Every structure is written in C-alpha cells, then in structure tokens.
Amino acid sequence: MSRAFDLERRGSYAAAAEAYRSVLATKPGDASALLGLERVLLPINRSAEILPEVRAALAANRSSGALYGVALRAWAAVEEPDSMRAVAERWAQATPGDEAPYREWGAAALSRRDRAGALAAYRMGRERLGRPHALAAEMAQVALTDGDYTTALREWIPAIEKLPGYRVTAVATLSQAPEAVRPRLLQLLAREDKFAARQLESELRVRWGDPLGGLRALQSSLPADRGSAVEALRGILDQLRTSRTQEALLAQGRVLEALAGRGSEAQASRLRLEAAQAYSAAGDRDSARRMLTGLADDRTASATVASGAGTTLVTVLVGDGKLEEANRRLEDLRPSISPEEYGSLRRSIVLGWVQAGELGRADSMLGADSTIEGLALVGKIRLYRGDVPGAIESFKAAGPYAGERAEATQRTTLLALLQPIEADSLPALGAALLQVEKGDTAEAATSLEQVASQLPASKGGAELRLLAGRLAAASGKSGDAERLFRAATAKEAPATAPAAELALAELLLGQGRAGEAIARLEHLILSYPESALVPQARRTLDRARGGVPQT
Amino acid sequence: MKRREFVARTCAGLATLSPLSRLTLASAAAPWLLVPMDDAQADHLKAYGLTFRLLERGGRAEWFLNYRNGSFLLPADAATARDAALAGVTTEPLEDGRLVQIRGQLQEGNMDAVPLEKAPKVAVYAPPNAAPWDDAVTMALNYAGIRFDKIWDEEVVGETLKTYDWLHLHHEDFTGQFSKFFLNYAGAPWLVDMVERNREVARSLGFPSVPAEKKAVASAIAAYVERGGFLFAMCTATETLDLALAADGVDIAASYADGSPMDPDASSRMRWERALAFHKAQLELSPTMPVYSDIDGHRVNSPDRRQPLGSFTLFNFSAKIDPVAAMLVQNHRQVIPDFYGLTTSFTRDTLKPSVTILAEEPGTPWVKYLHGERGQGTWTFFGGHDPEDPQHQIGDSATDLSLHPHSPGYRLILNNVLFPAAKKKELKT
C-alpha cells in the first residue's frame, strides 16, 4: 500500500493503479486500496476499468459502505443505471435504516447529470425508510438546480431541524432566489412555527437587504435557553457583518447588545464596545453613548476595551459636535493608541471644525499633517476660504486614494468643477461649497447660482450652474433645477453641456415629459458623439422610448 | 403572391436603392453605409430596427447574406446616418468602388445580396393585459424600435388579421387549458384574471368553451398563413397551435377547461394533416401533468422527465439556392446556449418530413428551430421562452436587452421580422 500511495503522490497514476491492484489481488475487500484505485483511474480517464475489482471487493466484503459507494460510482461511469440500482439495493439490505445507500446512489446519478435518476433514488429512499423527511437536503439541492426555490425551502426546513449545520448551505443557496420569488418564500416560512424556520427567515431577510426585519423575526422566538439564544444571535451576526449599510450596522449593534446581556462580564465589556462602534457607525449616537457609559473610564475593563471605548466615544462626540470634549478625550487616549489611530481621530475632529465653519481652528489643529488624508483636508480648508488654485493643488497632491471611495469621488468632482475657473480667489464660491458640506443644499444652490452669474460659461459658470441644478433637484425644486440645467447646456462649455443635457433629460423623464427628454437626449448624442456620457444617454433614451424595462 | 423564391441579383443592388435617397446623401464621397453584423457591430439588435425604419421611410436596403455574418447595405442619407448615431449602431461608410468589390465577393462564395423593399406590417398576438416584458419578441421589437400592433382573439377571428404581413405568437396555449398552470398556480391572481378574460372572450364570440374558441383562433391563423401571411411562433404557441389544428373533432382539453374529460383515444384520432409542423405525437392524458405531448423534448415542468439544457447549432444554408432559410439563420454565432420554455424543443420523431430544420442540438432527439410553408405563406417555430433568461420562471424580473445587445438568440427572432421585407420573385416553374 505504501508503494501505491507513493506512486499516487508522485502523479504516476498508471503505476499506482497497478500497485493498488496488486494489493487487491491478495485482499480484494480492502476498502483503502479500492478507493485508491478509484482515485488514480479518474485522472487518466479509465474509471470504467475498476469494475472487476469492484465485483471482487463486494464478493469479499458485503458490509463496507465505502465499497458500495465505489461500486455505485463505477456503474455510473459506465452508465449502467440498472446495476447502480442493484448495488444500492444490496447496500440498503446490508444496512437497513441507513440513508447512505440512497444518498450515494443519487449522488452517482447526479455525477452523470441524471437528475431524474437521482430523484428516483431519493424518493425510493424515503419510501423504503418510511421517513418522509429523509434525504431532505439532497432533495433541496435537486430542486435548486431546477430553480424551484419553494420546494427547496420546504425540504431545507426539516433538513436543518435534523442537522443544524445545513443552515449555512440553505441560506447560501436560498439567498440566490430571484426577487420575485422571495415574498412567496417568506410567506412559506411565516407559516412554520419551528425555530429553525425563524432562524432561516431571519438570515434570509438579512441577505435580501432587510437586516432589521431579519432581527425582528429572530427576536420574536428567541429561545429562553441561553446557549441556543447565543448561537442564534451569533448566526445572524455573521450575516450582518457582510453588510455596511446603516440598517445592517444598527441591527449589528442590537445583536451585539443582546449578546452582551447574555455574556460573562469580561465578554460583555467587549461586546458593549463592539455594539457602541456599530451604533456609532450607523449614526445612532444615543445608543452608542448608552453602550459606552462607564466603559471608557472603567478601571476594571481591559486596556484594549478601554482604549476602544475611548476612541469610539471620540467619534460619537465629533458626531454630536462636541469637538472640544472630543479633543480632550483624544489627548487623554494618545498614550494608549497607535499614532495612525490618533492621526485619524484628530483629522475627524478637524473635519468637525471645518463643517462647523471654524476654518482657522481646523487649520491650526491640522498643523503640518503631510498624510494624503491630511492634504485632502487642507484642500477643503483652502476651498472653503475661496483659494481656488490652492485647493486644486492640495486635491491633486492628495490623489485618488485618500479616505473612503466616496470622498475620493467627491474630490474628483470638485477638481472638475474648479479647473475651468480662472479666478485666484472666490470667497463666495468657498462659502457656497461650505454650505453644501454642511448639508444646506437649498441655500447652497442659490449661492452657487449667484457665483455662476459672475463667471463666463466656459470658465466655470456652466459647471457651477450644473451643480446648483443638481442641488435644486435634490431639494425638490424641480423648476429651479430645470432652469439651471438649461443654462448649463451652453455650447461654449462643451465639457459640461452633455452632463447638463443628461441631467435635464433625467429630470424631464421624472416629470413624465418623455417627449422633451427624448429630444434632449437625441441632441446630446448627435451634438457630442465623443462624450463619455453617450452610452448612458442611449440607455436613458431606450428607457424614455419604452425600449427597455424601467429599473 | 408566391413567397418561395427571393431575388438576389449581384450588381443589381445599386439600382435597387432609390435614386431619391441618393440625392440626400450625407456624404458625396461615401454614398453607402455598410452595417456590419460580425463582432465589429456595437448593437446587433438595433441594427435590425435601423434597417426596418429605413424601409418604413420608403427607402431600400440590401441584406448581404453570409457576408460579415449577414450585414446590411443602406443608403448614406442624412436620416439613416442620424438614426444610426442615435441607436449606437456601427456603420461603415462605403464607396461605390468598394461596393463593387464586395459584390464580387458575394458572387464567389456562399453569399448573396437580397434586396429589402417594404417594411412588413407587424402584429403580436397577446391579451390586452399582457405584460410587455413577458414576451421575447415584444421585447426585441421594443428594443430595436420596430413598430407593431397587439391583436387578440377578436381581431384574429374577425377581419383585422388579414391586414398584417407578419404575426407573432408567444406562449399562448391554443388547447385552451391555460398553459396547465392550474397545477402550480391555483388561486394566483394573474391566473384567475387569465381564466376570466379568456372565458369572457369565448362567451362574447359565441363559443361554448375556451378550448373550442382557441381551436377557431388556431384555424384562423392557419388560414392566414395559407393566404400568404408570415407566422412566427415561440414557446408553447408552437406546440399547442399544431395540437389545436390537428384536434379537429377531438377533445384534447381537460375537464377543468371545457367541462368534459380529454378523449382517452385522442392521440390516435388527431388529424395531423391539418397541423403545420408536427405529426404522430402522443398526447399527455393527465390533466395534472404540465406537459401537452411528446413534441417537446425538454419537458421543463415535468420533474421526472425534464432534460438539461445544452446548446443548439444553426445549420448553414446556400444563400443563392435557399435564401429564405439562409436569412433566418444569419448570425455571428453558430452555437447558441439553449433556453427553456413551456415548449423548449421539438422531438425529431414528431416532425413532418417537409419541415426544414434550421437549428438542432447535435446528438439529441430534439431540434430547436423550424421553418415550413403552408399554401402561399410561411411559418417559423422557435422553441423556448427568452434566449437571455434560460431558466425563465414566472415572476422573474424582466430581461433588459440593453444588457444583451449582441444576443445571438434574439438575432434569430429579428431575422424573422425582417425577412418578409425581402423582394419576392414568382417561381419560374
């Protein structure tokens, strides 16, 4: 056997086959040798040659499931369904009450893409075993290959009840169900009162973008038993951690809080900290503060937990606009956190000062931060002061990788906005863009239009009107948006006009004015054929004409 | 009017294009636009719409069969150039000298030029409440920008159908059994609506049941083909149209549809001479089995007999001798992934000998795409529901063809829409 293993390991499959055969010649019922022979014949495409050894093995050893499994696969390889059935039935007689013969028979049929054969095997298994839910997981998998999600769900529930480990596979496969089928699946789950069904429902809801609904489903029937409850909460937490939406973060916070209530004191501190971080990221600062209460100053908490609580508290304080207190907390924490973390929190406080309009304090606190994130902040400070060339220089220096992707995109957009502008200093523009940063879009649109009126269309006027139009549209002022978009379609600004035409067309489409939108889109495509927006314009045109479904 | 042979005269193309259009050329240097249909094309599906709209405007075009996978020659007038730019269809300016060279190539190989003269008037058979996104042909026509009218039983049984050149049928069940959806969708609001609507139409037209009314509709469609109409059917409409035609005097509907059980000897009593494509089929007697007969090879809704999807291969026809079949298989792919429908494929054993097979799945007992003649007209059957949604399930989201502008399966549908525009020639015999 050792020689055979060695030959197999070296990839000498033909020689290994001979070695396994020599073992089987003396010990025909040796399951290891037969399995080895099966393995090495497969890569050299000679699987069918195993049949004589299979027959001899079954004659010598009638009780080994492994031998029957090889026999089933061998008969499947030569496409002999009757022989497969005969082997499975012999196996079933040898091990009454065992699902394995039917499971392996079905698997062998599926390996030959014989779906009907596999189903027949599983159904016979159910009938002979007298257990209506036997082989449920296998039946579910077959139903899934047909795209029959309702049958798959019905099978998965008893399968999970019997073996909870199936839940992961069930969730992974059922979560692929098309959107139109999902309500039906949820209805079916709602009819089931078993906890396995609730757990499945909760995890599927999370996968389908309803994390809070998923949590509600689970909490409605969480077992009183602490161990089972913790396991169920951990299950949904694993699903929630794959998403960073606000709802998912909020649900994460609630699950972690629930886990903290069920954990030991040491665990509870860490879980409360994680809950606080999740709440903070979700924007629920009250819940975050509730979790942090006492944790940051708790002398009994571990150093890691205490510093984690401290940094989370700084983030919460920044969100609350309590920048002085945040700064004090941060300086207290400085010895216990890494320089990178300190720098990142410090910049979050700087951004807080920027958003508060305290550009001087922001500038002095930022100091000589030469990281790319620091340069991006310098760009913002310069921009809001109206220093256009300075802002361009800093944004370019920060490059495309500073901060989150959304921040990088915002910088690119700002660069495109600023580059046509020739003026060195435009404090009014800075003030208007600061209003955008603060979220005051309605006022910002008015201010931007005023600045635009002082600039030629080709020197930033059109770009500023386009931005003002987008802000007006976002504020629900469609009349102003339309006027601004039309003004931005000036042919003197060929880099801006296509974007303005597309924005105008989208606005008109949203108002049900498809005819006018179509005319605009046609004008865009024909007038600016080289524009990168043409493919998008064509797609919008298809939508306006009813050529593709509304999405 | 005979439709059995199509003129394809090399070097006649210059004359076939209207002189008027040449006066409005966008560029004197390049009087033609070649619409390539090989992999250089940015939007294969919209290329058909571009050609169709040119014909609608009174212009003329040519279809270069087997040249760059079935390209089109259009006049380079301003309207066509504008339309191509808006649709995003790739065109190549072509000068007379280069065109003469191409015509030389067409002469030498298995290629030919077919003049396209008149846009056919297109009708889609669908109930008034049919969702526009549940029919591949409707989606293809909408996406390509080809105008069509929807008609239903009243128009087919009445006089309106006669006014159309081309008729499309999709997943209609002409046996009147509501696609045997009773089994899986009992109580679903859309099924209740479908049943009520069909019963109301049958009553209003004076028929005792939906199966009886659908048989009359099937007969009217066959008569339309007989008179010279072009029929294109997909999915269940193919199989059930023939079953309804052949079931003259035979009850093939389950009792839930017409109040009486299916004739147990139905298979032996069918009058297959009335059917377009099939004969000798065995009908499914069980009302609970969502299968009609052994015509369909795949049986998608029959868990025990369902066959897996493979891919089908288009046959290559002589462009000069057999231009109709050649037009119907113009494509930039020869092997195309298969897709399910209530009727996915057609078993070889049930095909009449006169049927032309346009595509098959080699090594299997079924074929995919059929063509034939009846009287003065022609019919084409294409199995399956949606070429870009192979596993289509009721309730699936709609297929967005802007994501599949090169779909070879949808191209086959659009070949059918354009081929009635080809110029016909009386048989010399």
If phi > 0 it is left, if psi is from -120 to 50 it is alpha, else beta; for residue A321 that is: left
Q: Regarding predicted confidence, which is higher, A527 or B194? A: A527
Q: Is residue B56 part of a domain?
A: yes
Same domain, B255 and B285: yes
Same domain, A441 and A389: no
Residue B365 has pLDDT above 80, yes or no: yes
Buried b vs exposed e over B120-131: b needs ≥16 C-beta within 10 Å? bebbbbbeeebe
Q: How many structural domains is chain B composed of?
A: 2
Contact present, A263 and A234 (Cβ < 8 Å): no
Reported confidence tier of residue B23, pLDDT bands at 50, 70, 90: very low
C-alpha distances out from residue B237 to B163, B173, B221, Å: 21, 6, 12
Report CB contact under 8 Å: B395, A120: no
Provide the ipTM.
Answer: 0.79
Strands B377-382 and B230-234: parallel
Same domain, B183 and B131: yes
Report CB contact under 8 Å: B393, A147: yes
Same domain, B112 and B127: no
Of B85, B306, B401, the CB nearest to A115: B306
**A535 to chain B: which residues are within 8 Å by CB?**
88
Q: How many CB atoms lie within 10 A of CB A400?
A: 11
Q: Is residue A360 part of a domain?
A: yes
Residue of chain B minimizing CA distance to A110: B308
Nearest to residue B236, comparing CAs of B280, B286, B182, B175? B175
- The encoded tokens of residue B370 equal 């059929």
Domain end among A419, A447, A479: A419
Same domain, A399 and A484: no
Same domain, A364 and A479: no
Contact present, B238 and B277 (Cβ < 8 Å): yes
**Residue count (chain A):** 551
Same domain, B346 and B215: yes
Report CB contact under 8 Å: A538, B86: yes
Report CB contact under 8 Å: B393, A178: yes
Same domain, B297 and B243: yes
Q: Is residue A300 part of a domain?
A: no
Residue of chain A minimizing CA distance to B392: A147
If phi > 0 it is left, if psi is from -120 to 50 it is alpha, else beta; for residue A163 that is: beta
Q: How many CB atoms lie within 10 A of CB B416?
A: 25
Mutate which of A176, A533, A538 to disrupt the B interface (most B C-beta within 10 Å)?
A538
Alpha carbon distance A226, B341 (integer Å) = 50
Report CB contact under 8 Å: A547, B402: yes
Of B82, B143, B397, the CB nearest to A179: B397
Same domain, B111 and B133: no
Same domain, A392 and A458: no
Q: Is residue A490 part of a domain?
A: yes
Alpha carbon distance B123, B130 (integer Å) = 14
Phi, psi of A477 (to 5 degrees): -95, 75
Report CB contact under 8 Å: A181, B142: no
Q: What is the CATH number of the domain that holds A510?
A: 1.25.40.10
Domain end among B76, B98, B116: B116
B376 Cβ contact partners less than 8 Å away, ≥ 6 residues apart: B1, B2, B3, B226, B227, B228
Mutate which of B89, B306, B400 to disrupt the A interface (most A C-beta within 10 Å)?
B400
Domain end among A376, A397, A419: A419
Q: What is the 3-state secondary structure (H, E, C) of A13-24?
A: HHHHHHHHHHHH
Alpha carbon distance A131, A115 (integer Å) = 22
Alpha carbon distance A182, A210 (integer Å) = 12
Domain end among B76, B99, B116: B116
Looking at residue A445, what DSSP letter applies?
A: H
Nearest to residue A351, comparing CAs of A340, A365, A337, A338? A365
Domain end among A391, A419, A447: A419
Same domain, A454 and A541: yes
Nearest to residue B249, comparing CAs of B281, B212, B200? B212
Of the spans A29-33, A246-250, B134-138, B188-192, which averages the highest pLDDT?
Answer: A246-250
Contact present, B118 and B55 (Cβ < 8 Å): yes
From B292's Cα to the closest Cα of chain A, the distance in A is 19
- The encoded tokens of residue A208 equal 């389908």
Alpha carbon distance A312, A296 (integer Å) = 9
Give me the total of CB pairs closer than 8 Å, taking one residue from chain A and one from chain B. 62
Where in B303-424 does DSSP place strands (E)? 311-314, 335-337, 346-347, 356-360, 366-374, 377-382
Q: Is residue B428 part of a domain?
A: no
Alpha carbon distance A448, A455 (integer Å) = 11
Same domain, B102 and B169: no
Range of the domain at A522: 420-545
Alpha carbon distance A350, A483 (integer Å) = 37
- The encoded tokens of residue A337 equal 């956190």
From A181's Cα to the closest Cα of chain B, the distance in A is 7
Angle at A268 between CA A263 and CA A274, to 5 degrees: 120
Contact present, B195 and B178 (Cβ < 8 Å): yes
Same domain, B79 and B138: no
Of A119, A178, A548, the CB nearest to B402: A548
Alpha carbon distance A516, A521 (integer Å) = 9
Same domain, A393 and A442: no
Alpha carbon distance B135, B123 (integer Å) = 13
Domain end among B116, B131, B161: B116
Same domain, B399 and B277: yes
Please list the residues that pair with B357 across neighbouring strands.
B370
Buried b vs exposed e over B379-409: b needs ≥16 C-beta within 10 Å? bbbbbbbbbbbbebbeebebbbbbebbebbb
**B388 to chain A: which residues are within 8 Å by CB?**
none
Same domain, A415 and A508: no
Residue of chain B minimizing CA distance to A121: B304
* Structure confidence at residue B133 (pLDDT): 64
Mutate which of A115, A141, A145, A528 to disrupt the B interface (most B C-beta within 10 Å)?
A115
Crossing angle of helices A31-41 and A13-26, rounded to 10°: 160
Crossing angle of helices A195-207 and A182-191, rounded to 10°: 160
Report CB contact under 8 Å: B397, A180: yes
Query: What count of Cα atoms within 13 Å lies in the side-chain half-sphere of residue A489?
Result: 19
Alpha carbon distance A279, A271 (integer Å) = 12
Segment B381-396 shows an average pLDDT of 85
Alpha carbon distance B137, B130 (integer Å) = 13
**B393 to chain A: which residues are within 8 Å by CB?**
147, 178, 180-181
Report CB contact under 8 Å: A539, B391: no
Range of the domain at B107: 13-116
From A547's Cα to the closest Cα of chain B, the distance in A is 4
Same domain, A428 and A452: yes
Number of H helices, E strands in chain A: 32, 0
Q: Is residue B1 part of a domain?
A: no
Please list the residues that pair with B168 across neighbouring strands.
B124, B232
3-state secondary structure of B296: coil
Q: Regarding predicted confidence, which is higher, B292 or A224? A: B292
Contact present, B227 and B163 (Cβ < 8 Å): no
- The encoded tokens of residue B18 equal 């209207």
- Burial grade of A254 (CB within 10 A; 0-12, 13-18, 19 or more): buried
**A120 to chain B: which residues are within 8 Å by CB?**
304
Q: Is the dihedral of CA A508, A512, A514, A515 positive or negative?
A: negative
Same domain, A396 and A447: no
From B135's Cα to the closest Cα of chain A, the distance in A is 12
3-state secondary structure of A319: helix
B142-161 confidence digits (pLDDT tens): 999 999 999 999 999 998 99
Same domain, B294 and B341: yes
* Structure confidence at residue B278 (pLDDT): 97
From A234's Cα to the closest Cα of chain B, the distance in A is 33
Same domain, A408 and A446: no
B89-101 confidence digits (pLDDT tens): 999 999 999 999 9
Q: Is residue B250 part of a domain?
A: yes
Q: Is residue A463 part of a domain?
A: yes
Report how far Cα A501 is from the mean position of its chain's Cα atoms: 34
Contact present, A301 and A269 (Cβ < 8 Å): yes
Report CB contact under 8 Å: B397, A542: no
**B143 to chain A: which residues are within 8 Å by CB?**
542, 547-548
Contact present, B253 and B209 (Cβ < 8 Å): yes
* Structure confidence at residue B132 (pLDDT): 60
* Structure confidence at residue A99 (pLDDT): 87
Crossing angle of helices A285-292 and A303-320, rounded to 10°: 150
Of A526, A529, A542, the CB nearest to B402: A542
**Residue count (chain B):** 429
* Cα pseudo-dihedral B403, B406, B411, B414, rounded to 10: 60
Contacting A with CB below 8 Å, chain B residues are 82, 85-88, 132-133, 142-145, 303-306, 308, 391, 393, 395-402
Q: What is the CATH number of the domain that holds B145?
A: 3.40.50.880
pTM of the entire structure? 0.69
Same domain, A368 and A443: no
Residue of chain A minimizing CA distance to B391: A147
Mutate which of A111, A122, A123, A146 to disrupt the B interface (most B C-beta within 10 Å)?
A146
Q: Is residue B427 part of a domain?
A: no
Residue of chain B minimizing CA distance to A184: B395
Report how far Cα A93 is from the mean position of its chain's Cα atoms: 48
3-state secondary structure of A400: coil
Of B86, B396, B402, the CB nearest to A522: B86
Looking at residue B206, what DSSP letter applies?
A: T
Mutate which of B86, B134, B305, B403 to disrupt the A interface (most A C-beta within 10 Å)?
B86
Report CB contact under 8 Å: A547, B398: no
Same domain, A488 and A514: yes
C-alpha distances out from residue B405 to A518, B45, B276, B417, Å: 20, 6, 32, 17
Same domain, B162 and B221: yes
Buried b vs exposed e over B175-198: b needs ≥16 C-beta within 10 Å? bbbbbbbbeebeeeeebeebbebb
Q: Is the dihedral of CA A302, A307, A310, A315 positive or negative?
A: negative
Q: How many structural domains is chain A composed of?
A: 2
Same domain, B155 and B300: yes
**A147 to chain B: which residues are within 8 Å by CB?**
391, 393
Q: Is residue B7 part of a domain?
A: no
Alpha carbon distance A83, B98 (integer Å) = 66
Percent residues over pLDDT 70 in chain B: 88
Alpha carbon distance A26, B36 (integer Å) = 70
Q: Is residue B2 part of a domain?
A: no
* Cα pseudo-dihedral B197, B198, B199, B201, rounded to 10: 90
Contacting B with CB below 8 Å, chain A residues are 113, 115-116, 119-120, 146-147, 178-181, 522, 525-526, 529, 534-535, 538-539, 541-542, 545-549, 551
3-state secondary structure of A513: coil
Q: Is residue A21 part of a domain?
A: no
B319-345 confidence digits (pLDDT tens): 999 999 999 999 999 999 999 999 999
What are the per-10-residue average pLDDT scores of chain A (551 residues)? 88 91 90 90 85 88 83 83 86 87 87 80 89 88 83 91 87 87 90 87 91 90 85 88 90 92 80 90 88 71 78 88 90 88 92 92 87 91 94 90 82 90 92 91 92 94 95 94 96 93 96 96 96 95 88 61
Q: Is residue B283 part of a domain?
A: yes
Q: Is residue A299 part of a domain?
A: no
